[in-house]
Amino acid sequence: MNRELAKSFNTEKDIYQEAEERLVFWEQQAASLDWFKKWDTVLEWNPPYAKWFNGGKINASYNCLDRHLKGTRKDKVALIFEGEPGDSITYTYSELHNEVCKFANVLKDLGVKKGEVVTIYMPMIPEAIIAMLACARIGAPHSVVFGGFSSMALADRIRDAGSKILITADGAHRRGKIIPLKNNADLAVQDTGLVEKTVVVKRTGTEVAMIEGRDYWYHDLMKKVPTDCPAEEMDAEDILFILYTSGTTGKPKGVVHTTGGYLTGVSTTHKYIFDLQEEDIYWCTADIGWITGHSYLVYGPLANGATVLVYEGTPDYPEKDRYWEIVEKYKVTIFYTAPTAIRMFMKWGTTYLEQRDLSSLRLLGTVGEPINPEAWQWYFKHVGKERCPIVDTWWQTETGMIMVTPLPGISELKPGSCTLPFPGTKVEILNRAGDPVQEGEVGYVAITEPWPAMLRNVYGDDKRYKDTYWSQWDGKYYYAGDSAKKDKDGHFWIIGRVDDVINVSGHRIGTAEIESALVEHPAVAEAACIGKTHQLKGQAITAFVTLREGILKSEELIIELKNHIAAKIGAIAKPDELYLTDELPKTRSGKIIRRLLKDIAEGRAIGDTTTLADSSALEALQGLAKN
């Protein structure tokens, strides 16, 4: 296990100790990438603003492609694509390079300039990755919007990014049905009035309306361009991408990641945490619409020259053994997924696994939310057959790279704990005052030193960057928004979010976002949402709604409101439960007390009610939730 590590670091003590000289460690890691020009400084830290490898010139697409063409990786498979309907295609590094260069030329022909944000709204198909790398190649930051988001959510993100170009597909396959991506895109384009050109990949063959002079077919444009496109020499601190994530206000934040530090962070962590070997078949099940897709499906593994499997569909289509069929078919060796998926597999039972050959697997990973020890054990036993270490990786959209994790072959594995900060990072659990908590005591996750893949800002909102992440401890430490504790070995046990963010199946949804969608409905006066513990999803959304004068409560209205949220944001934000109530529990100053709503939804004893203005609201609600 972990031969790569064993070569450079013999024992656990060595790698963690070696990385104690953090900047030396990161400088060594950065040196394993290809730079057009070496950096002047490793880190310039003017809290809360970091510059990593400043003065360096680098290109992410070049590092993911061109540099592999010099040696034996030229004809190595870079991407294996498995489509939901069962079609498949592979791209070698040299083939992928060709496609990316061509698409980069397409973008240039469409007038995309360095620094201009390109929005990508696509299914999980190779063209999505080609589009990302083509943007990186010409220095146009990409903003990937999850294909499951609604047209309104897409419009918000296009508007915030000021994006003039949109890349999409005619449709997306989803459990045998087709999601009309281009239709959604059209609505968003109309709504914003910003987008001048769209490029449409033909995936499902769905009939779509193409507007002359605005909409172009990908395959038409790709026929007309040369395969030669030199990679732009980007500053290490130029933006590589922005990725929107939910926060505590109704408006999602565009998390900004830059080039040199990000690539150093994701390639290093990917190599060591997944113990990457040349012959591995690496599969990360995350969608490119999330940070895991960016860091550990695209940039980390491709920078490392890995063979990456990309699967378009869901685990249960056409049968509940689809994932295991894929593992068997492609002899997957490394498998990285989310606890919510594991809990679903548990529910489905072991028959689906037993009928497939999983002997190629050698390493398993999880991300997105705390994994309950029971699910960990099940994953270890039934998927890994007690042979494969599991890496439970804690990180965030903002951290860009994995921050707390075991190292396979080195760390002691503990079901439910993500163990220790990655070498070269400083993660702590602090109390409100900024002091480390005692063993077993609950505190807040803090990152106390800058790290290379850290977010650099919130796009166009410097104040929000400072307020959200750096105000907790006077600009000194990064505030992650999670609570956690440490055990006697100093190992981390993440508890969950402490802000108004719900983690549904490993995806973050801000309560404020759902609430503002709700109050936009003409029947709604006020709304409050909370996350309720859910067996499969980790948390499920429960909404409490008061209606405007004269509007009658009805089952139909409940359904309508749930659908309204799905239309506004996307199906993932649709509440499982929605209660219509006459009043919401509030403080005397009128603030909704979500904590009490949570107690009600969970059916547990109601906590401290001393700040409550009127207790009758509570009694009525308790009655509702019981029914």
**Where on the chain is the footprint of ligand WT7 (CB under 6 A)?**
245, 291-292, 367-370, 392-397, 418, 480-482, 494, 496-497, 503, 506-508
Residue with tokens 């800058």: 450
Q: How far is the CB of 341 from ligand WT7 (least distance, A)?
A: 13
Residue with tokens 């130029």: 238
- What are the residues facing 179 on neighbouring strands? 172
- 3-state SS class at 153: helix
Q: Which is nearer to ligand WT7, 216 or 493 (CB)?
A: 493
Q: Which is nearer to ligand WT7, 367 or 597 (CB)?
A: 367
Q: Which is nearer to ligand WT7, 63 or 396 (CB)?
A: 396
Q: Which is nearer to ligand WT7, 507 or 568 (CB)?
A: 507
Dist. CA 561–CA 565, nearest whole Å: 6
Q: How far is the CB of 391 from ligand WT7 (least distance, A)?
A: 9
Write out the two tokens for 510: 């801000």
CB 240 within 8 A of CB 454: no
Q: For the chain, what's the residue count?
A: 627
Q: Which is nearer to ligand WT7, 231 or 445 (CB)?
A: 445
- Positive or negative torsion for Cα 91, 92, 97, 98: negative
Q: How far is the CB of 369 from ligand WT7 (least distance, A)?
A: 5
Read off the amino acid at residue 93. Answer: Y
Q: How far is the CB of 387 from ligand WT7 (least distance, A)?
A: 22
Write out the two tokens for 514: 């759902």
CB 370 within 8 A of CB 494: yes
- The total of other beta-carbon atoms located within 10 Å of residue 476's CB is 12
Dist. CA 595–CA 600, nearest whole Å: 9
Buried b (16+ CB within 10 A) or exposed e, 163-185: bbbbbbbbbbbbeeeebbbbbbb
C-alpha distance from residue 20 to each of 165, 321, 395, 475, 586 (Å): 44, 44, 20, 23, 49
Q: Which is nearer to ligand WT7, 39 or 282 (CB)?
A: 282
Q: How far is the CB of 246 from ligand WT7 (least distance, A)?
A: 8
Q: Pick from 483, 526, 481: which is nearest to 508 by CA?
A: 481
Q: How far is the CB of 418 from ligand WT7 (least distance, A)?
A: 5
Q: How far is the CB of 446 from ligand WT7 (least distance, A)?
A: 12
Q: Which is nearer to ligand WT7, 508 or 594 (CB)?
A: 508
Q: Which is nearer to ligand WT7, 56 or 421 (CB)?
A: 421
Q: Pick from 264, 324, 325, 208: which is nearest to 42 by CA?
A: 264
Residue with tokens 């933006």: 239
Q: Which is nearer to ligand WT7, 409 or 496 (CB)?
A: 496
Q: How far is the CB of 300 from ligand WT7 (least distance, A)?
A: 12
Write out the two tokens for 63: 């590092």
Q: Which is nearer to ligand WT7, 100 or 402 (CB)?
A: 402
Dist. CA 327–CA 231, nearest whole Å: 34
Q: How far is the CB of 413 from ligand WT7 (least distance, A)?
A: 13
- The total of other beta-carbon atoms located within 10 Å of residue 595's CB is 15
Q: What is the DSSP letter of 505?
A: T
Read off φ and ψ for residue 314, nearest 5 degrees. Answer: -105, 165
Write out the two tokens for 120: 């990508």
Q: Which is nearer to ligand WT7, 331 or 598 (CB)?
A: 598
- 3-state SS class at 413: coil
Write out the two tokens for 377: 């054990």
Q: Pick from 314, 413, 317: which is nearest to 373 by CA?
A: 413
Give the angle 454-275-283 at the CA atoms, nearest 5°: 80
Q: How far is the CB of 303 from ligand WT7 (least distance, A)?
A: 18
Q: How far is the CB of 338 from ligand WT7 (least distance, A)?
A: 8
Q: How far is the CB of 424 from ligand WT7 (least distance, A)?
A: 18
- 3-class secondary structure for 385-404? CCCCCEEECECCCCCCCCCE
State the residue number with the nearest CB to ligand WT7: 397
CB 295 within 8 A of CB 261: no
Q: Which is nearer to ligand WT7, 315 or 368 (CB)?
A: 368
Q: How far is the CB of 567 from ligand WT7 (least distance, A)?
A: 22
Q: Which is nearer to ligand WT7, 25 or 146 (CB)?
A: 146
Read off the amino acid at residue 623. Answer: G
